[in-house]
Amino acid sequence: MLFIIAFQQMGAQEALGEVKKMAYGNPFNAGNENFINLTNALSDDQQVSLMMFDNWKSIEINGVNNELILIDSANYHMEEDKFLFVHHGGLYELYPEKIEFVHIDNHKFVNLTYEAERKSLERAYFEVLVDGDYILLSRRELVQEITNTSPLGLSATREVTYVLTEKLYYQSSSDRRPLEVPRKKADFTKIFRRDRSELADYAKGNKYSVKRTEDVISIFNFYNSMAD
């Protein structure tokens, strides 16, 4: 589900409180610079921010070197693919390469390098849907669609809408780089190293579709349970 929040409302959310990493109460503290960057405010013409959560949430950040940061109020900006928070009028982002994972409102995010379109390697946030021997990840992206209209011969107007798309990826214990989950049955079971026939029977018996996220979650959970 998409939640849309007017950026002006963030003023009322001037609610970082403080960054609680040991004695670090100042976002400009040298220790916090490894994680935090003062970024530009959203552009003036972008009056609506596309956030994942309808309310700003407290988050727990685990750094790659086992650092722990707690932030009182933050949100995930799906268009920018960033975790943002506001403090004394400044808009801050978290350096993704310094983060192992983020917990926010019962969701867990990791930042990973993956093979994007045209075989380029990019970093992005993924939500962890299933953890275990085989990890199921969700990569959400907002695709901007612009429609030009010219009613009754008047000058054209531009209507901008966003479409939320989702792709599923997986990691195995032998390959930590995220790979896209196949959406064809014949290819889907091949990603698993063992128990493929049992997995196929389980999916068929429950009438699961590899094109439905909730069904793929159930299949991954079942596979991991067989490994226990």
| Tens-digit pLDDT profile for residues 126-183 | 999 999 999 999 998 877 777 776 665 555 667 777 788 899 999 987 778 899 999 8
| Tens-digit pLDDT profile for residues 53-72 | 888 888 898 888 888 888 88
Q: What value, to the nearest 5°, has the Cα angle with vertex 65 and ends 83 and 93?
A: 15
- Domain limits of the chain? 3-181
Q: Residue 59: name the closest of 84, 88, 30 by CA.
A: 84
pTM above 0.85, yes or no: no
